[in-house]
Homo-oligomer: A and B are copies of this chain.
Amino acid sequence: MLSSLNSELVPVAAQSILLSSPVQSRSPESRTGLARLERGSVRRFMSKEHVFCEGDPRTHVFQIEEGVVTIYRMLTDGRRQIIDFAYPGEFIGLGASAEHYFSAEATSATRVRCYGASALEETAARDPGLALQLYKAVSLELAAARALLVAIGQRSALERVATFLTMLSRRSGSGNGSERVVHLPMRRADIGDFLGLTIETVSRTITKLRVMRVIKIAHGADIEILDAERLEELSEGEACG
């Protein structure tokens, strides 16, 4: 979940939530949460392959192990809104519905672990620990979606791109801090469809940030953040009563 646009607020802990099972080595019956489930099977996808499509029955829930998956929705005339970039550790396909509302496409070679959706729910119906984990996981996705909503609904192009970069750097920053050099696994078109902008605007805005000496394009998809503080200022106004 490309969460934590507005990142003070949305902890980056999303990926750990469902993974954390305090006791790893006990017998299956005594474990709780995900640990109680069969380890799902692994599936691999090439770049641009779909993990699932809008309208497909929600048969599985997937956990990304490697790669980045784009969650999006397409309008009839081709406009596309990307809702989320799912990174390793995160789950996709959670939800209450019988069908997927959104499509999921691999941006690059991707490895996912599959869990049967009904098995997951049946187990959850007996294991409140797992059910609560699901609850918390979706809650985090919700917070992320809402944060993006604020960005798209209220912020300017510059603010959106700055927010996006800040967030990516936080997320890449393994653990504590933010990373200086951020790798963008997605194309400009994806960034545009995520932020509600066109390719051209994204490109121009990145150029503007480069000219402002806030960032530096290292190698195409790699961006070096020269002035993280300024970048955060540009992502504009957090909080308020």
Contacts and interface: CB of A to CB of B under 8 A. Distances in A.
A94 interface: yes
Contacts of A55: 239, 241
Contact of A76 (B11, B74, B238): B238
Interface stretch (A38-46, A135-143, A166-174): A135-143
A135 B75 contact: no
A211 interface: no
A146 interface: yes
B239 A54 contact: yes
Sorting the interface of chain A by its residue count into under 10, 10 to 19, 20 to 34 or 35 or more gives: 35 or more
| This protein's copies in its complex | 2
B124 A126 contact: no
A113 interface: no
Interface stretch (A147-155, A178-186, A200-208, A219-227): A147-155
A142 B95 CA distance: 8
Contacts of A140: 96
B196 A96 contact: no
Nearest to A153: B196
A74 B121 contact: no
B143 A141 contact: no
Interface string A68-108: 00000111110111010000000000111100011100000
A240 B94 contact: no
Most buried by B among A79, A126, A135, A237: A135
Nearest to A72: B150
Contact of A101 (B146, B152, B153, B155): B146
A119 interface: no
A199 interface: no
A19 interface: no
A237 B135 contact: no
Contact of A96 (B124, B128, B136, B147): B136
Interface of A: 9-11, 17, 53-55, 73-77, 79-81, 83, 94-97, 101-103, 121, 124-132, 134-136, 138-143, 145-150, 152-155, 193, 195-196, 236-241
17 contacts: A55-B241, A75-B237, A75-B238, A77-B236, A77-B237, A79-B154, A80-B154, A81-B154, A95-B143, A96-B135, A101-B147, A126-B128, A134-B135, A135-B135, A141-B142, A142-B142, A153-B193
